[in-house]
Amino acid sequence: MPHAAWTELEAAARRDADARIVDQFAADPGRLARMTVEAAGLRLDLSKQSWTKAGFEAALALARACDVEGRRAALFGGEAVNLTEGRAVLHPALRAPAGAAFRALGEPVSAEVEAVRAEMRAYAEAVRSGNETGATGRPFQAVVHVGIGGSDLGPRLIWDALRPLDPEIDLRFVANIDPRDMAEALTGLDPETTLVVVVSKTFTTQETLANAEAAKAWLAAALPAEGMARHFIGVTAAPEKAAGFGCGRTFAFRDWVGGRYSLWSAVSLSCVIGLGWDAFQGFLDGAAEMDRHFLEASLETNAPVLLALAQIYNVDGLRRPARTVAPYAHALRRLPAFLQQLEMESNGKRVRRDGSPVGRPTCPVVFGEPGTNGQHAFFQQIHQGPQVVPAEFVIVASTDGETSESPLWANALAQAQALMLGKSEIQARAELIASGASEDEADRLAPHKTFPGDRPSTAIVLDALTPQALGALIALYEHKTFVEGVLWDINSFDQWGVELGKALAKSILRDVAARAPAPDLDPSTAALLQRLIR
């Protein structure tokens, strides 16, 4: 570990703790230019972050000391960067232009990627045109996408962000094992015109299989047995299991595609059917452009690197354990949930790559809501609460493609400005007096109307929410997450923390079947189980 670089970053952060952000623009005239980056059509402004020029340079020095460039080359070179599972991590291969030459652990993979893309396109176009029909010869009018985690959040984000107001295909998603989720998805649909797409990397995920069984039963009640398989599509890295389950056709992806990084693959087949191939190709193209930027830009002008360094500075330098993401576009309302999985599942780790304790905070809690909704909820805390919560504003200049949404993005600019500037008690008191309050009333209310300010934020600006811009935005966050893992020296590509609860759930389900807790079950869980099965 580059201890000296970490020590210098922490020392710089201690010095910067007393340096107000707004004062840095006068102290450092080049600040705005240095901390503003254009990448793949996105504009990032990190000038409202807490670092001074010296802190910014200490963060860059840490990136160099941790060999971000070397680890980046290993990722794109298809090396086993997921060392606990011995796998390459090659989601960039899924969006690379035709003719790319990616290799996973030395094995060429780009031709296979292009072949699956061609299959996806052909099938989606057949469904959309009505050439691909169901068991009774009627064209499909609805798709029910069944998955969970990375098999749900990514495609759901794409659909919400890019769907037309009146889509040709009615695309619905089911993830929760609660039967209500499936019931809501199926309500109003006709089995004869409904296609079910089941997405599971291993085709063993308990929640997904339970929902798939429910969908299968719904179809079977209305369709002839010999044609039902036409309504059931599998997307998986285990095609033989999908075929055994009853899927009439499968689309494959490989184990070098992590679940939360898989939306570039056949995992998003439902979206390709719903949006059409051109939209999905634009989505891939935007991500590929961000890949090129990440690979080619210097660290000083590299958008994913700088976004990661801002978080590292807040989390490790200034001990700020949470971050909020506020997308000022209704179509991006799923972005905070998507980032929760991308970042917290990737980097919520306590040991380094060699198994030793990290010894410092890693991934912060990520939360958020669309602006302006969040302003009427948790923004109170980030403005006046005692904890400093860095904010990320994702701003879309035009959300309907025609007019400028100035009331929407003006709120984003105002919130970021208010977080930085704050309002002193003297200012609050003067305003109260000016509004007609008495001296006593002004003294009483001024503390309640005081804002500490000096609270950091980053702005990410998109001209419009096009498929290309969405692809670039998601790839930006993927690479940011990777860079943070490099700096913390953790494996961002396994998720063992998900497994323990799954294993224990199987044990508890056996107890449910037996109608009694196992003798070795802890008292609290046994009592809860007894209460629930009575």
Residues taking part in catalysis: 345, 376, 502
- 232-236 and 170-174 as β-strands: parallel, antiparallel, unpaired? unpaired
Residues 6+ apart with CB under 8 A from 216: 196, 228, 232, 246
Residue type, 203: F
- Those residues whose C-beta lies under 8 Å from the C-beta of residue 379, and which sit 6 or more positions away, are 415
CA distance 206 to 459: 39
Structural contact between residues 194 and 141, judged by C-beta atoms closer than 8 angstroms: yes
Look at residues 199, 165, 187 and name the one whose alpha carbon lies nearest to residue 270.
199
Q: Give the DSSP H/E element, type plus range, for residue 346.
A: helix 346-347
Round to whole Å and give the CA distance between 482 and 91. 12
Torsion from C-alpha of 349, 354, 311, 3, nearest 10 degrees: 140
Task: Quickly count: other Cβ atoms within 10 Å of residue 245's Cβ.
Answer: 19
Helices (H), 28-90: 31-34, 53-65, 68-76
Q: What is the DSSP letter of 301?
A: G
Closest CA to 210 of 266, 253, 146: 146
Phi-psi label, residue 99: left if phi above 0, alpha if psi -120 to 50, beta otherwise: left
Residues 409, 394: Cα–Cα separation, whole Å:
9
Residue 485, both tokens: 């893992």
The answer to whether 230 and 135 are in contact (CB under 8 A) is yes
8 A C-beta contact, residue 378 and residue 338 = no
- Rounded distance, CA 493 to CA 227, Å? 40
Strand 107-108 relative to strand 391-398, pairing: unpaired
Query: Could you give the CA distance from residue 95 to residue 106 in angstroms, rounded to a whole number?
Result: 19
10 Å Cβ neighbour count for 504?
A: 12
Token duo for residue 357:
């304790």
Q: Are 51 and 20 in contact (CB under 8 A)?
A: no
Amino acid at 121: R
- Give residue 276's region: left, alpha or beta (phi > 0; psi -120 to 50): left
Phi, psi of 345 (to 5 degrees): -75, -35
Rounded to whole angstroms, how far apart are CA atoms 276 and 279? 6
